[in-house]
Amino acid sequence: MTVARSAAVLISGGGSNLQALIDASRDAESPYAISMVISNRNGAAGLERAKRAGIPAKCIPHNDFERREDYDAALLEVLATDLPDLVFLAGFMRILTPVFINRYYGRLLNIHPSLLPAFPGLNTHRRVLAAGDSMHGCTVHFVSAELDSGPAIVQGCVPVAAEDTETSLAARVLKVEHEIYPYAASLLATGRLELRGDSVWLDGRQLAEPIRL
Ligand code: GRF
C-alpha cells in the first residue's frame, strides 16, 4: 500500500508509544508515515528515537510561553511547515486549547492509560489499584475540548492481579498501548475511521461502543 497520510506526533517523555507508531509505519502496508515529532520538553528520550528513525524532531519548550494559547499558536506554526494530515498525541502532557483542537478536529488522536470514561487525568494506575478494580486498560480516543473525554475508538483491557503494584500494572498497560495505538492510527489513516460530530464511525457504521482488542 502506498502511504496515504502523513502524521505528526507530539510527545513529552520516553516515547515508547511514538516508537510503536514508528515501527508500525515502517510496514510496507502502512497507510501513514510519521513526518515530524515535537516535544514540549527538552531532553525527552522520544526526540532521540525520532532522530534515530530519521524523522525531523523539534522541541518547543512550554516554559518559553506564558499563555497556553501562545504555546499552541507556536505549535500550529511549526506544524504548518509540515502540513501533516493527522496529529497523534503520544504521552504529550499538555492540555491543548480549542484553537488547536478545532484545527485538527477529527484528525487528532490521544492515548490514555485507562478504560475511559473511567479515570481521566493523572496517576491512573494508582487510582485503579486504590479503587480495587479488577479490570484496567487503555483507550485511544479522538481529542475534544474536554480533557480525556473525546469519543473513544479502541480500548485494550488489562486484568488487575492481586499482587500488582503501580509499576507492574503500568508496564502491562503500556504494552497494550503499543498495540492499540498503531491499530487506531491505521484505521484513521486509511479513512475507515471517521469522527462525525461527536460520534465515531467505522466502515460507514456508527460505533455503539469502542472497539475492544
Ligand atoms: C503512556 O502511558 C501514555 O498513555 C500516557 O503517558 C505514557 C507515555 O509513555 N499518557 P511513552 O512516552 O509513550 O513511553
For the chain, 213 residues long, give each residue's pLDDT as a single digit of tens.
445 699 999 999 999 999 999 999 999 999 999 999 999 999 999 999 999 999 999 999 999 999 999 999 999 999 999 999 999 999 999 999 999 999 999 999 999 999 999 999 999 999 999 999 999 999 999 999 888 889 999 999 999 999 999 999 999 999 999 999 999 999 999 999 999 999 999 999 999 999 999
The pLDDT of residue 1 is 47
- Asked if residue 156 has its Cβ within 6 Å of ligand 1, the reply is no
pLDDT at site 3: 53
CA of 137 to the centre of ligand 1 (A): 13
The finding on whether 174 has its CB within 6 A of some atom of ligand 1 is yes
| Residue owning the nearest CA to atom 10 of ligand 1 | 91
Ligand 1 close to Cβ of residue 120 (< 6 A): no
Establish whether residue 109 lines the binding site of ligand 1, counting it when its CB lies within 6 angstroms of any ligand atom.
no
- Sheet (strand 205-206) strand order: 193-196, 199-202, 205-206
The model carries a pTM of 0.97
CA 48 centroid distance within chain: 18
Given 62, 112, 136, 141, the catalytic residue: 112
**What is the spatial order of strands in the sheet that 152-159 belongs to?**
57-59, 32-39, 5-11, 86-89, 108-112, 135-142, 152-159, 211-212
Q: How many CB atoms lie within 10 A of CB 16?
A: 18
Identify the helix (H) or strand (E) that includes residue 57.
Answer: strand 57-59
Active site residue 141: no
Q: How far apart are CA 203 and CA 162, in angstroms?
A: 39
Q: Which residue among 16, 17, 47, 119 is best mutated to probe the pocket of ligand 1, counting the most ligand atoms within 8 A of its Cβ?
A: 17
Distance CA 92, CA 154 (A): 19
Measured in Å, residue 15 CA sits from the centre of ligand 1 at 7
Taking the C-alpha atoms of residue 107 and residue 191, their distance in angstroms, rounded to an integer, is: 10
